Structure 1
Amino acid sequence: MEQTNKKARFDLNEDKSLKSILSKLGPLLGLLILCVVLTFASDQFFTFKNIMNIANQSAINSLISVGMLLTIITAGIDLSVGSMLALSICVMGVAITKWNMSPMLALPLCLSVGAFLGFLNGIMLTKLKLPHPFISTLAMKNVARGLALIVTAASPISGFSKSVQFLGSEKIGAIPVSFILVLVVFVVFHIFLTRTAQGRYIYAVGGNQEAAKLSGVNVHRTLILVYTICGFMAALCGIVLVGRVNAAFPLAGLDYDADAIAACIIGGASFMGGSGTVWGTLIGAMIMAVLRNGLNLLSVPADIQTVAIGLVIIGAVYVDVLRTQAQKKAKIAPVTNTNNATSANA
């Protein structure tokens, strides 16, 4: 009987390990399969020029997604990232073109505006005790978008200098500077989340806010930090966007919140909080970029592309639901097995 129990426990642990590996490698496997399919579907896909094009296209979503990841890890969400991006770059555009501010001062101003807007999101969530970040960030989405329209008189601002455009337009060799920036940012965020106490606090708040509070974690300060970083990353993403199109316009980033959420969920983060990695999020953003690039190469109409992206988002959320259910069952199973083993020994 004892040998049977040992064998059962061994098989259970082996199964858990296999599921864990498949769960972690699932997004990467999906990206590889998508690349293989598109390689056979279009002879233009698997070329160095197109790969660099995908890297450049994925940069904006990658940067805004890593900020969104922090909010999702805390079981929250930020619907205002696109609007914060728009207001940040519009303030920068006005500062440069109308206030004659130096780009070396206007760029930090842009980042400061984004961080401040994110800080306000955190304050509304914690100090005003709004019931869910959906409410506070939805309000900020409308406020920031309206202010962007007011600041620019609903007109785009263009004609920026090379120093402002650098992150979005330049290359080092054949590699876009924007993608190099993505890699640097993701390494920094990986270290922050996995090697610092504050990073562990973020996971703890998302896993169980009450337990984190009882363990001595300052939950309010952690949430404020998370939303401040999210706003900062939205502004940084805006600088890359300005460099790419050489314009700051109040309607920038309209769908960026949905794309960022999709990248995080596809990459393995959960709406339930407490899980998610920066590298999974990068893979999720790459999947979104590869899918859009492949559909363009196959001359799929824009309206059909929108439907396809919507279906991908639905699929990603459904996978998250299945993953959450499987985790709940896995937590219950060991308790049941322990009770059965105790009964058998008795």
Structure 2
Amino acid sequence: MKSTKKLQIGASGNMLQKGIILTSLVLIIIVFTCLSDNFFTLSNLSGILLATTVNGILSIGITYVMIGGGCDISVGTNMTLCGVMMAVFATTMQLPIWLSVVLGILVGTLVGLINGFLIAKCKVPPFIQTLGMMMICKGLALVISGARPIYMDSIKGYQTVATGSFIKELTGVNIPNGIFIMIAMMAAASFLLNKTILGRYSFAIGSNEEAARLSGVNVIKWKIISYALCGMMSGFAAWFMTARLNAAQPSTGAGYEMDAIAACIIGGASMSGGEGSVSGTIIGAFIMSVLINGLRIMSVPSEWQTVVTGAVVIFAVYVDMLRRKKQ
């Protein structure tokens, strides 16, 4: 009976938390709509959706890692490296674009596997390992690209993956294709997290790693898998980023890791592990996109936008700590 009550309280608490997050998103939209006539327009909302695609996919990857009690700050530069490799495969090596994308995603997965192995098997602290990997990916992207953008104009129709809109052709409403692909990925990620052994073990490891190990869970294996999934998501994000820009920019991903982590924390993931959801993370990603977009429309300088983002991260972590103490 007690365990059933705890589950009911936990479920109702999660629903309440998601309700609060969603309400916050609506309030932020209302505030910026009142402050600027240019905010609540179809073109601007379409831009927000498109911006959320990349951050949302990165955030989904980090959600798996954070639920398992880990952290990955290399996702941004991993995305950059994947994008550069996709462009090299497609333009320099003249491989088919579908194969170039697949190989680029595999590069991201490999980076995640290396992170996971060194963290889970060699006991390197997650922050130190992913900080080092962040610098390695950044350096490799600059070296491979020659510190110059690699344009993909010769690949016909590549931009339609992100910026095209099949809905516009049917209804006249311009909703980017990328947002539908992100929703499909969100559904798949939610299924993995809530309906498979990966999700159950991730929550168990994040809640109490030693107890999970004693109960027979192969902690090392599942940690490596979660980091590999995170790396794979960086590869998918690179696909959308290169399609959106029609180029691979060797310095594009810097800073994306903070926005992605902020989205996870705002969405209910805990820095201590054992908590989080894909749907909450996506709402958090929308909040970050709306906030940054609104500040830009209000002509707030980019450096102050960074200050606000940092403040949001600190506030979200503080709220998470208070919530953990109450529990």
Provide TM-score, normalisation by structure 2.
0.91
**Structure 1 residue 29 displacement after superposition:** 1.4
**Structure 1 residue 45 displacement after superposition:** 2.1
**Which residue identity lines up with residue 244 of structure 2 in the other structure?**
R
User: Which residue of structure 1 lines up, in the alignment, with residue 100 of structure 2?
Assistant: 106
Q: Is the 8 A contact 2:80 2:252 kept in 1?
A: yes
Alignment of 1:32-43 (within 5 A): 32-43=26-37
| 1:162 partner SS | coil
**Which residue identity lines up with residue 278 of structure 2 in the other structure?**
V
Q: Which runs of 5+ in 2 are unaligned?
A: 1-5, 169-173
User: Which residue of structure 2 lines up, in the alignment, with residue 295 of structure 1?
Assistant: 295
Superposed CA deviations along residues 288-345 of structure 1, whole A, max 9, x for unmatched, are 1111111122222222222222211111111111111111xxxxxxxxxxxxxxxxxx
**Structure 1 residue 136 displacement after superposition:** 1.3
- Over the matched positions of the two proteins, sequence identity in percent amounts to 40
User: Which residue of structure 2 lines up, in the alignment, with residue 51 of structure 1?
Assistant: 45
**Structure 1 residue 176 displacement after superposition:** 0.4
Matched, 1:157 2:145: no
**Structure 1 residue 17 displacement after superposition:** 8.2
**Segments of 4+ moved more than 4 angstroms:** 12-21
Alignment of 1:328-343 (within 5 A): none
Q: Is the 8 A contact 2:67 2:202 kept in 1?
A: yes
Report the RMSD for the aligned CA atoms in angstroms: 2.0
CA gap 1:278/1:21 in 2 versus in 1, 3 angstroms: closer
User: Which residue of structure 2 lines up, in the alignment, with residue 26 of structure 1?
Assistant: 20
**Structure 1 residue 46 displacement after superposition:** 2.3
User: Which residue of structure 1 lines up, in the alignment, with residue 67 of structure 2?
Assistant: 73
User: Which residue of structure 1 lines up, in the alignment, with residue 76 of structure 2?
Assistant: 82
CA gap 1:17/1:268 in 2 versus in 1, 3 angstroms: closer
Distance 2:112 2:7 in 1: 42
Choose 94-103 or 112-121, whichever is displaced more. Answer: 94-103
User: Which residue of structure 1 lines up, in the alignment, with residue 213 of structure 2?
Assistant: 213
**Structure 1 residue 228 displacement after superposition:** 0.5
Q: Is the 8 A contact 1:203 1:275 kept in 2?
A: yes
Distance 1:66 1:103 in 2: 25
Q: Is the 8 A contact 1:103 1:163 kept in 2?
A: no
**Which residue identity lines up with residue 84 of structure 2 in the other structure?**
C
Choose 179-188 or 138-147, whichever is displaced more. Answer: 138-147
Alignment of 1:182-197 (within 5 A): 182-197=182-197
CA gap 1:215/1:40 in 2 versus in 1, 3 angstroms: same
User: Which residue of structure 2 lines up, in the alignment, with residue 339 of structure 1?
Assistant: none
CA gap 1:176/1:216 in 2 versus in 1, 3 angstroms: same
Superposed CA deviations along residues 155-212 of structure 1, whole A, max 9, x for unmatched, are 2100341343332221122210111111001001111111112211111111111111
Q: Which runs of 5+ in 1 are unaligned?
A: 1-11, 328-346
Choose 47-56 or 138-147, whichever is displaced more. Answer: 47-56
Choose 22-31 or 113-122, whichever is displaced more. Answer: 22-31
**Structure 1 residue 50 displacement after superposition:** 2.3
Distance 1:122 1:253 in 2: 21
Distance 1:216 1:115 in 2: 26
Distance 1:195 1:19 in 2: 20
Q: Is the 8 A contact 1:121 1:136 kept in 2?
A: yes
| 1:272 partner SS | coil
Superposed CA deviations along residues 108-137 of structure 1, whole A, max 9, x for unmatched, are 11111010110111111122221x211211
Alignment of 1:315-326 (within 5 A): 315-326=315-326
Matched, 1:262 2:256: no
**Which residue identity lines up with residue 310 of structure 2 in the other structure?**
G
From 139, 144, 153, the equivalent of 2:137 is 144
**Which residue identity lines up with residue 141 of structure 1 in the other structure?**
M
| 2:162 partner SS | helix
**Structure 1 residue 20 displacement after superposition:** 5.3
User: Which residue of structure 1 lines up, in the alignment, with residue 171 of structure 2?
Assistant: none
**Which residue identity lines up with residue 166 of structure 1 in the other structure?**
T
**Structure 1 residue 139 displacement after superposition:** 1.4
Aligned residues: 315
Distance 2:239 2:210 in 1: 38
**Which residue identity lines up with residue 24 of structure 1 in the other structure?**
K
Distance 1:112 1:13 in 2: 38
Q: Is the 8 A contact 2:87 2:152 kept in 1?
A: no
**Which residue identity lines up with residue 38 of structure 1 in the other structure?**
F
**Which residue identity lines up with residue 148 of structure 1 in the other structure?**
A
Q: Is the 8 A contact 1:164 1:239 kept in 2?
A: no
**Which residue identity lines up with residue 86 of structure 2 in the other structure?**
M
**Which residue identity lines up with residue 309 of structure 1 in the other structure?**
T
**Structure 1 residue 18 displacement after superposition:** 7.0
CA gap 1:20/1:198 in 2 versus in 1, 3 angstroms: closer
Matched, 1:119 2:127: no
**Which residue identity lines up with residue 249 of structure 1 in the other structure?**
Q
User: Which residue of structure 2 lines up, in the alignment, with residue 64 of structure 1?
Assistant: 58
Q: Is the 8 A contact 2:83 2:241 kept in 1?
A: no
Q: Is the 8 A contact 1:68 1:78 kept in 2?
A: yes
User: Which residue of structure 2 lines up, in the alignment, with residue 277 of structure 1?
Assistant: 277
Distance 2:272 2:177 in 1: 35
**Which residue identity lines up with residue 265 of structure 2 in the other structure?**
I
